[in-house]
């Protein structure tokens, strides 16, 4: 039995406990809260049973779009009355979340269509297939069906129509063998990527080998490719598409101007636009754009090209089915500038663009296409969570969530929403069963934060056996006197105060009045039994610990920080409507010794106490160290004034580090509270002290079996310290300001294991990097955070959580212990079978996070998710999410480097991915030639994203990246959610010159490849950590003027870190884009200006993930070929 009491160590709830007053959350406190705050809550329908008919009391409420307006007053008061009837245990909480209820409670049952109505399955969905991909194949029964109208193109994830993308890849070579230059620009030669369709369905087509077409496509203008004579990489042969009839798609799906020009071989008689033939960009999403280039949606965002090309100039050759293709001359084509910027073009191609390539990059799955399709298909309707196993929109899509019994995807995302019923199936497909859980995720303003539920002195209602918390999946029986657990099937008696009659469908009458019976996410107030030592916790404390050694002073850090803290301390997190924060603060400075400060409010001046015996750290004062900011403001301000002066002339360069954490920990212990240490540190701690480190950086270890050492801590001291910190609820946030190696792998360990955040500002200078640091600090201090937390993931019979990835500590196999958990941290969980699952029952997941709020309130946040189960692998492959899969793979790999050579880790990733795709090919795709690469629709981006992970600095470092940066990135990624890993590994590249200054929208992103950049364009690239603006050297002068306020490209100052504030639409729009992007990410990104051909460009190019990189990372095209080869090997 893996299910244990959630907080066994804290004791089980005792029903007889008297006298617990949970911080004013009892019913008498509800009076002062406006009823409208609760009115809208009427409980979602129990829609996780796909056939359930909504039965909420207010189901007949008006059909106004629920998100556009707050619910009507009448509805609110009605609902509130219902909510409050019987008992008031669901009564309002005082949390800050409640303040948003009036605008954030859009859901009215019955006021909008059920999700399964909104996303009615379509008979077929050809348009899901980006037609820019070559030879997309719709397998099986769908292949005959005509495409639906563009406006109906979205089919639900549970659609019965398997879509398959097939790609005519048959690269015989490994991706390492192409002798192309490093800066290979595949697009310059539009010859390859041919996708002839086999004229006779079902007829086997031999796998083709590839010859080198002797002729290349020349470029018009001054840059001409040699017409012939240069050996080409093999041309991809076309997909045979056996079993697929030749019904052509309506030509209208293929707008002119979008045809990838690479169809140099095709079957005689095939028309453009036939299925299976490389066709234009998707009919949806982009189709409307070509006519509106002025709106920033030029025709090429998907990677097609602006030149209107005849699709057929080189289609003359009939497909012979022969294993090799005769080379043939091709007409010259313009194929270079992906943008519609006038003027600079043909004669400006960099020399490397003459490189030829064998596969058309436009013919392989495009991340941008998938992202844009999802936006247009799923961004318009709210995502209602009522249906079990529903795949949510992508993280890149802006959508509204309605909690109807399953948690929002902002809290939980899964790699698969339809789990294989047996472990044999799971082993066969190799798709990891994994969920990324972000328990305290910030919700947008128009979504209701979890309600707080109070079940009174007896605590939350739970299953007697497995201790799962009351949730919508529990089945009430015997007239409501008992409930059967959805997780372990045990029957538990309902306590009298929780009893309610059932309606004729067996549902409790109060189902929609109780969040825990109708919502996927909610909170319980925990009783004292859930508290450490059965004592209500004290409010947490923040301790600021500032390195005052020579480097920290010299860089301007100490002055900047002390000045900022004076105002920042007004923004400490506070509970709900509380006037001031309950968090107490304390201050320490240190170099080789530690200085504690007494800032008691009664003092006229702060007092310093020096502890130089750092071998056995203790806190020299109790009273006056941790104080209320408002009471001690004058003393604190005085201290913050004095610190920079006191140490201004310091010559001390040595620092300690271990004793600093120990001191903070001891202070929290003495105050009997949880809390967070903010440590601002600059150097490797070389001074004689516990936790002293030596410089052990050794880049020669890269690519050896000993490389793992670089990621491991150099001493076990910090492991032990981390354990103590977790036990106390002492979280450590680390702000590093190094000028050289500081051993992030070791220093960051306590941060990592206590759920803290790490920030790194290499070569920090207050003038240049101050903005970034202060923004990060502000966000870090203010963000929603829970302390002294334990997370437990329960599952229904058949699967269980077996592995966890993230920033936390685990002392047993089930409890994720977090000294603190903030709104940015995600934990990735892997599940394995321990029994069979059933298609009828599905699989249920319940994540319970017990934590202490910023005011010291003990709470449980519960997230529930129910998934489908299948006996056919095709159902699994239809309901996957690649972004989540990648999040898991990254975390698996980044943990793997601690114990394996990076090459082994990379090989394992490739191997597992190839198995996933090969299993699909073998079991789910319609029979076809091995020469075809066939990818499941939901995983068609797996190769491109996987390649980004493989090429990342952790797994395949170049010489320019430091050991510290690798350790730093490894640590950051480990707690990232799906949206963060998505953009981090495949950055967002926005064509600035196409932005529509009259719209709030961003221009459509382009693919991360140098070939997509126009010399006449300006681009913004961001990955959540870095932010660049790249300026092409032929950018029009008026655009340069309006953005940079200089007259020419040459005058742009690439050292600037902020755009000039100019009063013109272009400048305003770009600056607002930068602001919005920064606001979307947890870390402030410093802006870097990169001018084309400038030395900084190399750094920028490092983020063009579809290109080959200087560290040996394969281009997307080459990697796809490699994956294909791996898959073929597995199949043969
Ligand atoms: Zn149970």
806: CA distance to ligand 1 center in Å? 27
Check residues 105 and 1008 and name the one with the higher pLDDT. Answer: 1008
9: CA distance to ligand 1 center in Å? 19
State the pLDDT confidence band at 342, using cuts at 50, 70 and 90. Answer: very low
pLDDT of residue 1072 exceeding 90:
yes
467: CA distance to ligand 1 center in Å? 6
- Contact call for residues 715 and 691 (beta carbons, < 8 A): yes
84: CA distance to ligand 1 center in Å? 28
| Residue-level pLDDT at 577 | 83
865: CA distance to ligand 1 center in Å? 16
For the segment 474-521, what is each residue's pLDDT rounded down to a tens digit?
A: 999 999 999 999 999 999 999 999 999 999 999 999 999 999 999 999
516: CA distance to ligand 1 center in Å? 15
463: CA distance to ligand 1 center in Å? 5
Mean pLDDT across the stretch 346-372?
68
468: CA distance to ligand 1 center in Å? 5
904: CA distance to ligand 1 center in Å? 41
477: CA distance to ligand 1 center in Å? 15
5: CA distance to ligand 1 center in Å? 10
800: CA distance to ligand 1 center in Å? 13
Mean pLDDT across the stretch 695-701?
92
What is 91-134 written as a DSSP string?
Answer: ----SGGGGGHHHH----TTSS--HHHHTPPPS--GGGS-TTST
| Residue-level pLDDT at 790 | 97
803: CA distance to ligand 1 center in Å? 21
410: CA distance to ligand 1 center in Å? 26
Separation of alpha carbons 323 and 929, rounded Å: 12
Separation of alpha carbons 282 and 945, rounded Å: 21
530: CA distance to ligand 1 center in Å? 19
Q: Is 369 exposed, middle or buried (0-12, 13-18, 19+ CB in 10 A)?
A: buried
State the pLDDT confidence band at 360, using cuts at 50, 70 and 90. Answer: confident
11: CA distance to ligand 1 center in Å? 18
17: CA distance to ligand 1 center in Å? 24
229: CA distance to ligand 1 center in Å? 72
Longest dimension (CA), the chain: 93
Mean pLDDT across the stretch 196-224?
30
1072: CA distance to ligand 1 center in Å? 51
State the pLDDT confidence band at 976, using cuts at 50, 70 and 90. Answer: very high
Separation of alpha carbons 852 and 819, rounded Å: 10
309: CA distance to ligand 1 center in Å? 64
Neighbours of 734 (CB within 10 A): 25
405: CA distance to ligand 1 center in Å? 18
Helical ranges in 555-650 per DSSP H? 557-568, 633-646
827: CA distance to ligand 1 center in Å? 23
State the pLDDT confidence band at 1085, using cuts at 50, 70 and 90. Answer: very high
Q: Which of 35-39, 241-245, 291-295, 837-841 has the highest mean pLDDT?
A: 837-841
23: CA distance to ligand 1 center in Å? 30
847: CA distance to ligand 1 center in Å? 14
For the segment 643-660, what is each residue's pLDDT rounded down to a tens digit?
A: 999 999 999 999 999 999
487: CA distance to ligand 1 center in Å? 5
* Percentage above 70 pLDDT, the chain: 68
Neighbours of 112 (CB within 10 A): 22
Mean pLDDT across the stretch 352-361?
57
- Contact call for residues 607 and 598 (beta carbons, < 8 A): yes
859: CA distance to ligand 1 center in Å? 21
465: CA distance to ligand 1 center in Å? 5
Separation of alpha carbons 1104 and 1109, rounded Å: 8
524: CA distance to ligand 1 center in Å? 18
pLDDT of residue 544 exceeding 70:
yes
Of the ranges 170-174, 543-547, 762-766, 921-925, which one carries the lowest mean pLDDT score? 170-174
21: CA distance to ligand 1 center in Å? 28
Mean model confidence pLDDT for the chain: 76
For the chain, how many residues are written?
A: 1132
pLDDT of residue 125 exceeding 90:
no
493: CA distance to ligand 1 center in Å? 12
Angle made by CA atoms 228, 1014, 135, in degrees to the nearest 5: 60
329: CA distance to ligand 1 center in Å? 71
- Contact call for residues 818 and 791 (beta carbons, < 8 A): yes
State the pLDDT confidence band at 909, using cuts at 50, 70 and 90. Answer: very high
pLDDT of residue 682 exceeding 80:
yes
Residues in contact with 757: Cβ distance below 8 Å, sequence separation at least 6, in sequence order? 733, 734, 751, 780, 822, 824
798: CA distance to ligand 1 center in Å? 13
* Percentage above 90 pLDDT, the chain: 64
832: CA distance to ligand 1 center in Å? 19
18: CA distance to ligand 1 center in Å? 27
534: CA distance to ligand 1 center in Å? 24
Separation of alpha carbons 1014 and 348, rounded Å: 9
Give the distance from CA 1006 to its chain's centroid: 19
796: CA distance to ligand 1 center in Å? 8
Separation of alpha carbons 1019 and 1028, rounded Å: 8
| Residue-level pLDDT at 166 | 61
State the pLDDT confidence band at 472, using cuts at 50, 70 and 90. Answer: very high
Separation of alpha carbons 664 and 679, rounded Å: 10
What sign has the CA pseudo-torsion 262, 267, 271, 274? negative
474: CA distance to ligand 1 center in Å? 9
For the segment 100-123, what is each residue's pLDDT rounded down to a tens digit?
A: 333 333 333 333 333 333 333 333
63: CA distance to ligand 1 center in Å? 38
222: CA distance to ligand 1 center in Å? 74
Give the distance from CA 372 to its chain's centroid: 17
Mean pLDDT across the stretch 432-451?
95
462: CA distance to ligand 1 center in Å? 8
484: CA distance to ligand 1 center in Å? 8
| Residue-level pLDDT at 644 | 97
460: CA distance to ligand 1 center in Å? 14
Beta strands in 223-304 (DSSP E): none
Neighbours of 849 (CB within 10 A): 24
| Residue-level pLDDT at 298 | 31
- pTM (two decimals): 0.74
511: CA distance to ligand 1 center in Å? 20
- Contact call for residues 522 and 516 (beta carbons, < 8 A): yes
Q: What Å distances lie between residue 251 and 271, 311, 744, CA to CA? A: 9, 12, 57
| Residue-level pLDDT at 49 | 38
Phi, psi of 828 (to 5 degrees): -95, 130
227: CA distance to ligand 1 center in Å? 72
761: CA distance to ligand 1 center in Å? 48
853: CA distance to ligand 1 center in Å? 27
Q: Residue 904 has which token pair?
A: 């082994």
For the segment 1112-1122, what is each residue's pLDDT rounded down to a tens digit?
A: 899 999 999 99
State the pLDDT confidence band at 79, using cuts at 50, 70 and 90. Answer: very low
434: CA distance to ligand 1 center in Å? 22
For the segment 796-808, what is each residue's pLDDT rounded down to a tens digit?
A: 999 999 999 999 9
Separation of alpha carbons 417 and 422, rounded Å: 15
Check residues 272 and 508 and name the one with the higher pLDDT. Answer: 508
464: CA distance to ligand 1 center in Å? 6
């Amino acid at each position: 039995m893996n299910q244990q009491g959630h907080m066994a160590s804290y004791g089980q709830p005792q029903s007889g406990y008297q006298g617990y007053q949970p911080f004013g959350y009892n019913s008498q406190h509800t009076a002062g809260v406006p009823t409208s705050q609760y009115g809208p809550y009427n409980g979602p329908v129990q829609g996780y049973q796909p056939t359930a008919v909504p039965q909420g009391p207010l189901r007949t409420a008006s059909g106004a779009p629920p998100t556009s307006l707050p619910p009507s007053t009448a509805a609110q008061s009605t609902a509130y009355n219902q909510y409050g009837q019987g008992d008031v245990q669901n009564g309002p909480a005082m949390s800050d979340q409640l303040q948003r209820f009036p605008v954030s409670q859009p859901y009215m049952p019955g006021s909008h269509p059920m999700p399964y109505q909104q996303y009615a399955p379509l008979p077929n969905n050809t348009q899901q297939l980006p037609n820019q991909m070559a030879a997309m194949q719709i397998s099986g029964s769908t292949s005959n069906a005509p495409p639906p109208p563009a406006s109906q193109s979205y089919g639900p994830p549970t659609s019965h129509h398997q879509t398959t993308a097939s790609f005519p890849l048959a690269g015989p070579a490994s991706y390492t063998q192409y002798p192309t230059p490093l800066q290979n620009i595949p697009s310059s030669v539009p010859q390859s990527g041919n996708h002839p369709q086999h004229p006779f369905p079902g007829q086997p087509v031999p796998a083709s080998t590839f010859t080198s077409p002797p002729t290349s496509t020349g470029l018009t203008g001054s840059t001409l490719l040699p017409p012939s004579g240069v050996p080409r990489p093999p041309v991809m042969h076309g997909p045979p598409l056996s079993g697929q009839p030749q019904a052509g798609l309506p030509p209208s799906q293929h707008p002119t101007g979008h045809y990838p020009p690479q169809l140099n071989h095709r079957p005689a008689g095939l028309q453009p636009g036939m299925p299976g033939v490389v066709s234009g960009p998707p009919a949806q999403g982009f189709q409307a754009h070509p006519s509106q280039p002025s709106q920033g949606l030029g025709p090429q965002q998907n990677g097609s090209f602006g030149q209107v090309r005849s699709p057929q100039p080189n289609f003359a050759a009939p497909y012979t089915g022969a294993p090799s293709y005769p080379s043939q001359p091709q007409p010259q084509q313009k194929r270079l500038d992906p943008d519609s910027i006038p003027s600079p073009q043909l004669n400006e191609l960099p020399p490397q663009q003459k490189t030829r390539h064998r596969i058309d990059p436009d013919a392989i799955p495009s991340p941008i296409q998938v992202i844009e399709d999802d936006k247009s298909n799923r961004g318009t309707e709210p995502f209602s969570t009522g249906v079990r196993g529903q795949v949510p929109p992508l993280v890149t899509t802006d959508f509204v969530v309605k909690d109807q019994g399953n948690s929002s995807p902002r809290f939980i995302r899964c790699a698969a929403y339809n789990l294989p019923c047996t472990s044999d199936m799971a082993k066969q497909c190799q798709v990891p069963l994994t969920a990324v859980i972000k328990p305290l995720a910030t919700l947008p303003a128009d979504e209701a934060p979890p309600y707080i539920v109070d079940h009174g002195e007896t605590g939350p209602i739970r299953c007697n056996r497995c201790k799962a918390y009351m949730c919508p999946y529990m089945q009430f029986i015997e007239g409501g006197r008992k409930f059967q657990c959805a997780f372990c099937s045990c029957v538990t008696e309902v306590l009298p105060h929780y009893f309610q009659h059932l309606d004729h469908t067996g549902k409790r009458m109060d189902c929609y009045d109780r969040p825990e019976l109708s919502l996927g996410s909610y909170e319980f107030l925990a009783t004292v039994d859930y508290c450490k030592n059965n004592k209500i916790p004290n409010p947490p404390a923040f301790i600021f610990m500032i390195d005052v050694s020579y480097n920290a002073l010299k860089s301007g850090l100490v002055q900047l920080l002390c000045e900022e803290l004076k105002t920042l301390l007004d923004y400490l997190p506070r509970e709900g409507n509380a006037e001031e924060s309950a968090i107490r603060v304390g201050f320490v400075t240190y170099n080789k010794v530690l200085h504690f400060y007494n800032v008691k409010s009664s003092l006229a001046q702060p007092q310093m106490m020096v502890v130089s015996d750092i071998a056995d750290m203790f806190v020299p004062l109790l009273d006056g160290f941790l104080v209320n900011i408002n009471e001690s403001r004058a003393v604190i301000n005085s201290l913050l004034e004095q610190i920079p002066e006191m140490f201004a002339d310091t010559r001390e360069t040595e620092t300690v580090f271990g004793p600093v954490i120990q001191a903070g920990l001891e202070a929290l212990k003495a105050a009997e509270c949880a809390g967070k240490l903010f440590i601002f540190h600059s150097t490797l701690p070389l001074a004689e002290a516990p936790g002293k480190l030596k410089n052990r950086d050794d880049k020669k270890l890269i690519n050896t079996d000993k490389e793992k050492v670089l990621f491991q801590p150099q001493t076990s001291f910090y492991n032990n310290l981390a354990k103590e910190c977790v036990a106390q609820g002492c979280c450590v946030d680390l702000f590093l300001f190094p000028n050289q190696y500081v051993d992030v792998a070791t220093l960051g360990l306590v941060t990592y294991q206590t759920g803290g955040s790490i920030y790194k500002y290499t070569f920090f200078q207050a003038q240049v990097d101050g903005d970034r640091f202060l923004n990060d600090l502000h966000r870090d201090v203010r963000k929603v955070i829970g302390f002294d937390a334990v997370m437990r993931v329960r599952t229904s019979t058949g699967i269980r959580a077996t592995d966890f990835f993230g920033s936390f500590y685990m002392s047993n196999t089930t409890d994720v212990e977090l000294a603190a958990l903030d709104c940015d941290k995600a934990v990735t969980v892997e599940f394995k079978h321990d029994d069979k699952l059933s298609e009828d029952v599905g699989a249920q997941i319940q994540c319970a996070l017990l934590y202490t709020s910023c005011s010291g309130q003990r709470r449980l946040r519960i997230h529930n998710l129910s998934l489908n189960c299948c006996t056919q692998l095709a159902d699994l492959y239809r309901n996957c999410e690649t972004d989540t899969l990648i999040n898991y793979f990254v975390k698996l790999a980044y943990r793997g480097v601690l114990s394996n050579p990076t090459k082994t880790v990379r090989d394992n990733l490739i191997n597992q991915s190839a198995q996933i795709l090969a299993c699909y090919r073998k079991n789910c795709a319609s029979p076809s030639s091995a020469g075809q690469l066939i990818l499941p629709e939901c995983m068609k981006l797996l190769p491109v994203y996987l390649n980004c992970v493989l090429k990342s600095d952790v797994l395949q470092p170049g010489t320019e990246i430091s050991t510290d940066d690798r350790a730093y990135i490894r640590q950051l990624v480990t707690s990232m959610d799906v949206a963060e890993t998505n953009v981090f590994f495949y950055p967002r590249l926005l064509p600035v010159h196409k932005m529509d200054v009259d719209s709030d929208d961003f221009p459509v992103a382009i693919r991360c490849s140098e070939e997509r950049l126009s010399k006449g364009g300006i681009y913004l690239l961001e990955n959540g950590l870095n932010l660049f603006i790249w300026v092409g050297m032929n950018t029009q002068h008026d655009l340069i003027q309006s953005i940079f306020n200089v007259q020419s490209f040459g005058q742009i100052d690439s050292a600037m870190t902020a755009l000039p504030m100019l009063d013109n639409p272009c400048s305003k729009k770009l600056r607002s884009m930068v602001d919005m992007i920064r606001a979307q990410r947890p870390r402030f990104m410093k802006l870097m200006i990169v001018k084309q051909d400038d030395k900084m460009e190399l750094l920028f190019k490092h983020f063009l993930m579809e290109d080959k990189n200087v560290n040996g990372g394969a281009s997307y095209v080459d990697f796809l070929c490699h994956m294909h080869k791996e898959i073929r090997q597995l199949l043969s």
